Amino acid sequence: MVESKDVRGPGRPRSERSRRAVLTAARELLTDRGLPGLSVDDIAAHAGVSKNTIYRWWPTKAAVLMDAFTDAAADRIEAPADGDALTRLRSQVRRVAQLMSEPDARRPFVALVAAAQHDTELAAALRERFIAGRRAEASGLIATAIEHGQLPHDLDPDLIIDLIYGALYYRLLVSGAPVDPAYADRLFDALAPIFRT
C-alpha cells in the first residue's frame, strides 16, 4: 500500500510527539475513569496538546481510543507459526483470553466494544481491524485441520468460532466471570467430542 499521505507539500510536518502523547493520555485516562468521564478536553490537557490537534487527526473520541488500543495491543495476538493447526488455534484463543484477563488491555477493549454498539463506523473499524483478523486466521486453521484429518469434514468453522469466542465475550461483556487461558483450555476440552473425526 502506497503511503500517499506522506506526500505533502511544504509546511510543518505532523508532530509524532503529539500523536504519542495523545494516545498515551487516552489510555491513562480511560483506565482511571472509563469512556464516559473521559473528555476530549481532558485528553488534550493531559497530553499537553490542543483540542484542535486531536480533531485534526481523529474524527471521534472513539477513534482515538481505537488507535490507542491498536497501538498497544494488536500485535500481541498473532498466533505462533509453530505446531499443528489445532494447537495453533488453541494458542490463538489462549492469547485473546490472556488479553481479556489483563485490566490495562481489557478496559479499553471493553470500552471500544461498548461504544461500537451505537456507532456504526466504530463497529466497522473494530471488526475490520481486530475481530475479522482473528476470525479469518481461525477459519483458515480450522480448514487446515480438516484437511489434515484432525477435524471432521462436516464441521462448520463459523459456528465453531462463534461457540469458542462467544463464550469468551459472553464472560467479558455479559456475565462478568473471569476470562483467562485456563478457561480457553476448558472450552477446548469440552468441545473435544465435536472435534473427534
Partner DNA sequence: TACTAATCGAGACGGTACGTCTGGTCTTGTC
Partner DNA sequence: GACAAGACCAGACGTACCGTCTCGATTAGTA
Span of 1-9, 13-21, 28-36, 53-61 interacting with its own copies by CB under 8 A: 28-36
Is residue 9 at the binding interface for DNA, with CB under 7 A as the rule? yes
Q: Find all residues with CB under 8 Å of 58, minimum gap 6, and list them.
A: 22, 64, 67
Residue 56 contacts which entry, its own copies, DNA, none (Cβ below 5-8 A, type-dependent): DNA
Quote the CA–CA distance of 61 and 35 in Å, as a whole number: 9
Quote the CA–CA distance of 152 and 145 in Å, as a whole number: 9
| Type of residue at 180 | D
Quote the CA–CA distance of 169 and 126 in Å, as a whole number: 14
Is residue 76 at the binding interface for DNA, with CB under 7 A as the rule? no
Under DSSP, is residue 103 helix (H, G, I), strand (E, B) or coil? helix
Instruction: Name the grid cell of 122.
Output: 466504530
Residue (79 or 167) nearer to its own copies, CB: 167
Binds DNA by CB under 7 A, chosen from 50, 117, 175, 197: 50
| Type of residue at 1 | M
Residue (49 or 172) nearer to DNA, CB: 49
Quote the CA–CA distance of 115 and 122 in Å, as a whole number: 8
Residue (9 or 176) nearer to DNA, CB: 9
Ramachandran region, residue 189 (left: φ > 0; alpha: ψ -120 to 50; beta: rest): alpha
Is residue 175 at the binding interface for its own copies, with CB under 8 A as the rule? yes
Least separation in angstroms between residue 111's CB and DNA is 12
Residue (55 or 170) nearer to DNA, CB: 55
Least separation in angstroms between residue 24's CB and its own copies is 21
Is residue 56 at the binding interface for its own copies, with CB under 8 A as the rule? no
- Going by the DSSP 8-state scheme, the letter that residue 83 receives in this structure is S
Which positions touch its own copies (CB under 8 A)? 34-36, 110-111, 113-115, 117-118, 123, 127, 131, 135, 156, 159-160, 162-163, 165-171, 173-177, 186-187, 190-191, 193-194, 196
